[in-house]
Amino acid sequence: MSQLPTDFEMTVEFAVNLFLLKRLHPQDFLTRIDPWRRFIEAPIWRNAKPLLNADPNLVLAIVERIVSGQNGSYDPAELMCLGKVRQSIGDHARALEVFDLLVKRDDRNYQAMYNAALCHIALGDMPRAEALLKRILQIRPRDSRAMAVIRESFGNLYFTLRASDDAEDEAAASAAN
């Protein structure tokens, strides 16, 4: 009866196989293994996004495990990644929890607000989405992504009203001088 390999032996065998794959088939290593290694080393959205086509549930499980192991001292980039992974697989309610937490920690985090607004739109809560998008435009008046979502979701009426408000503000400022 053969004995099962120990964890150490399995780890050594895996390391040798990985080394051989990298050495003998570098293109396979770069396209199949290296993206996962980078993602695990830095679970941020830029590293997670290309892997979602391969296995979105595994990406979600990895990010959730990393974030849950932080005992309340979350890295904002990792939290953003968690929210965006949830959002990309269609779990908008749970993604919204993450984005709301990020906004609560930093009320000028326009990226979290933008993603929260997209979640609200997906969930059908247009008033909350509109409030967040307007807040983004207060922080970043020319944010093209926020303007595009407002146009797509609320039509050009918002921009017509905003332009007339801006004209009134300019007129009031001119009259004051």
The angle, 0 to 180 degrees and rounded to 10, between the axes of the packed helices 92-105 and 76-88 is 160
Return phi, psi of residue 5, to 5°.
-65, 150
Q: Is residue 72 part of a domain?
A: yes
Domain assignment present for residue 157? The answer is yes
**Among residues of the chain, what percentage have pLDDT more than 90?**
21
Cβ partners under 8 Å of residue 32, min gap 6: none
Could you tell me the CATH number of the domain that includes residue 106? Answer: 1.25.40.10
Residue 19 in any domain: the answer is yes
Question: What is the total count of domains within the chain?
Answer: 1
Is residue 100 one of the residues assigned to a domain? yes
Measured CA to CA in angstroms, residue 106 lies from 8, 19, 31, 53, 74 at distances of: 44, 43, 36, 31, 13
CA atoms within 13 Å, Cβ hemisphere of 19 = 6
49-74 pLDDT per residue, tens:
777 777 788 888 888 887 876 666 67
Q: What is the pLDDT of residues 84-141, one digit of tens each?
A: 999 999 999 999 999 999 999 999 998 999 999 999 999 989 889 889 988 988 888 8
Please state, rounded to an integer, the average pLDDT across all residues of the chain.
75
Claim: this prediction has a pTM higher than 0.85: no
**Residue 119 resides in a domain:** yes
What are 160's two structure tokens? 């017509």
**pLDDT bucket at 1, cuts 50 / 70 / 90:** very low
Cα separation, 151 vs 130, in Å, equals 11
Amino acid at 21: L
Check if the beta carbon of residue 86 is closer than 8 Å to that of residue 98. Answer: yes
Nearest-angstrom CA–CA distance, 102 and 120: 15
pLDDT for position 141: 83
Residue 139 included in any domain:
yes
Which residue range(s) make up the domain with 65? 12-176
Share above pLDDT 70 across residues of the chain, in percent, rounded to a whole number: 60
The answer to whether position 172 is within a domain reads: yes
In a domain, 44, yes or no: yes
The residue among 58, 78, 53, 76 whose CA lies nearest residue 67 is 78
The residue ranking higher by pLDDT, 67 or 18, is 67
